[in-house]
Amino acid sequence: MPRAIISPSVLASDFGQLTAECNRMIKGGAEWLHMDVMDGHFVPNITMGAPILACVSKGVPGIFMDCHMMVADPEKWVNDIADAGGALYCFHLEATADPLSVIRAIRARNMKVGVAISPDTPSTAITDEVANAADMLLVMTVYPGRGGQKFLDRCVPKVAELRARFPDKDIEVDGGVGPKTIDVCAHAGSNVIVAGTAIFNAPNPEEVIASLKTSVNT
């Protein structure tokens, strides 16, 4: 399995102190920062967009922004997110009829490619061609739209199915992940771990980051 990567979801942070919050996570051992971009169309909520990401990349030198694009028209935002310093552009399979074209657009801007599936989308919806063209596959373990939801166990088998098909690919889980749910995710083969409330609401985020990492690596 590829190496463990912890990607705290800044949706659970204090947006008034966003760059300080990101720096705090990096100091605490996080490799990536998970940026939840919601457009009010693909999901009902609106969170942040390219202008805020640009501020974060300026205020947090060397940050790897793992951009989770919960947007209706994923191709539309590729240039803006690349200009803002996005390192990985993860779009939802449900949001496009032509994933390969979105992937080509992301590659053209030198970002890494992620492909996400929501709880009701089967792992088989990710074709070999799409998966092979991507760097990372994201299995949502809650319905996209907001933080702090309950982990959906029924999504876990999809992680195992994808790990069996793609032994070397990064596989991310997102939604309700924390110390209580990490073991099933890690056991199924996920190596990129998103956690929002479990990290930001903890008295010692660095301890949670370290323990999530240990669970993946053991």
Question: In the chain, how long is the greatest CA-to-CA distance?
Answer: 43
CB atoms within 10 A of CB 200: 20
Q: Which does 40 bind (CB under 5 to 8 A by kind): ligand DX5, Zn ion, none?
A: none
Whether residue 62 is annotated as binding a ligand: the answer is: no
| Residue 36 appears among annotated catalytic residues | yes
CB atoms within 10 A of CB 79: 13
68 makes contact with Zn ion (CB under 5 A): yes
170 makes contact with Zn ion (CB under 5 A): no
Task: Supply the minimum distance, in Å, between the C-beta of residue 117 and Zn ion.
Answer: 12
92 makes contact with Zn ion (CB under 5 A): no
Helix (H) or strand (E) holding 50, with range, is helix 50-59
Helix (H, G, I), strand (E, B) or coil at 13: coil
Q: Which does 117 bind (CB under 5 to 8 A by kind): Zn ion, ligand DX5, none?
A: none
**Catalytic choice (39, 66, 170, 174):** 174
Helix (H) or strand (E) holding 115, with range, is strand 112-117
What does the per-residue mask of binding to ligand DX5 show for 67-86, with x meaning CB under 6 A? -x------------------
What does the per-residue mask of binding to ligand DX5 show for 16-55, with x meaning CB under 6 A? ------------------x-x-------------------
Task: Supply the minimum distance, in Å, between the C-beta of residue 89 and Zn ion.
Answer: 13
Helix (H, G, I), strand (E, B) or coil at 142: coil
Whether residue 145 is annotated as binding a ligand: the answer is: yes
Long-range contacts of 43-50 (CB under 8 A, 24+ apart): 43/70, 43/144, 43/145, 44/145, 45/145, 45/146, 47/11, 48/15, 49/77, 49/80, 50/77, 50/80, 50/81, 50/83, 50/84
119 makes contact with ligand DX5 (CB under 6 A): no
Whether residue 178 is annotated as binding a ligand: the answer is: no
The DSSP 8-state label assigned to residue 202 in this structure reads: S
Tokens 């088989």, residue? Answer: 124
State the binding site for a divalent metal cation. Answer: 34, 36, 68, 174
Catalytic machinery residues: 36, 174
- Residues that bind ligand DX5 in the complex, under the rule CB under 6 A: 9, 11-12, 34, 36, 68, 142, 144-149, 174-177, 194-198
